């Protein structure tokens, strides 16, 4: 089958676009407004976009509390959503009123960050402390309506990692079990059973050939 996204003429029960862009990391974003009120929400249009400097981006549909807060106070945190915190992550997605603290709603404790004013999820094994860089409005699907997605770009200025998940200088991400968004109401989890390793191709000195080693990774990024 083929369909044009502008016409959305796929004939299926649901638009399949998000079911094909998978798996998507979940950015569990906490923000605060100028009055100090907290907001916590998961975003599945999220990813790292650079490591020099380290930056992340996520998109927000409409003028949600997250977008208003981050433009107002200029920072946020992104806590890792894991299998152990799955139910709390899901509860924090509730579209409650702006004055509702999703940390309390999801029965989560906060802990202060080192470099930014917004706290992170205390129970999460890893988190990014972020400073807001800019937000970009994306094209409106309907020019007659105000709704659009906004791409929010932040610089990661600090990283928290629970040291119990570090083995021999390597983060044991399989033991953290981060979850990812799929399509519809489906999710997946990264664990030891779902992970595998691939060596990058080694290019010959003349730049004409490449080969892939069957040996364990030698610790060199290529």
Q: For 40-75, how does the pLDDT look when each residue is reduced to its tens digit (9 = 90+)?
A: 999 999 999 999 999 999 999 988 899 999 999 999
pTM of the model: 0.94
Q: How crowded is residue 38: how many other Cβ atoms within 10 Å of its Cβ?
A: 18
Residue whose structure tokens are 């799955």: 86
d(CA 165, CA 172): 5
**3-state DSSP assignment of residue 18:** helix
Q: For 109-134, how does the pLDDT look when each residue is reduced to its tens digit (9 = 90+)?
A: 999 999 999 999 999 999 999 999 99
Contacts (Cβ under 8 Å, ≥6 apart) of 35: none
- Domain regions of the chain by residue span: 17-196
Domain 17-196, CATH class in plain words: mainly beta
């Amino acid at each position: 089958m083929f369909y044009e996204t502008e016409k959305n003429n796929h004939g299926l029960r649901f638009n399949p676009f998000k079911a094909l862009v998978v798996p998507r990391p979940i950015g569990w974003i906490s923000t605060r407004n100028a009055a100090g009120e907290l907001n916590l929400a998961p975003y599945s249009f999220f990813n790292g976009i650079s490591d020099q400097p380290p930056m992340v981006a996520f998109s927000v549909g409409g003028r949600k509390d997250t977008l208003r807060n981050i433009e107002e106070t200029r920072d946020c945190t992104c806590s890792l959503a894991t299998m152990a915190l799955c139910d709390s992550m899901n509860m924090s997605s509730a579209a409650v009123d702006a004055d509702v603290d999703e940390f309390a709603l999801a029965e989560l404790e906060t802990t202060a960050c080192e470099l930014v004013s917004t706290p992170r999820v205390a129970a999460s094994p890893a988190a990014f402390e972020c400073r807001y860089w800019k937000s970009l409005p994306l094209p409106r699907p309907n020019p007659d309506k105000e709704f659009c997605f906004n791409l929010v770009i932040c610089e990661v200025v600090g990283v928290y990692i629970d040291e119990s998940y570090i083995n021999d200088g390597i983060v044991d991400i399989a033991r953290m079990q981060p979850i990812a968004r799929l399509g519809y109401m489906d999710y997946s989890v990264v664990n030891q059973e779902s992970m595998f390793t691939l060596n990058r191709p080694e290019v010959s000195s003349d730049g004409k050939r490449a080969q892939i080693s069957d040996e364990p990774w030698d610790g060199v990024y290529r």
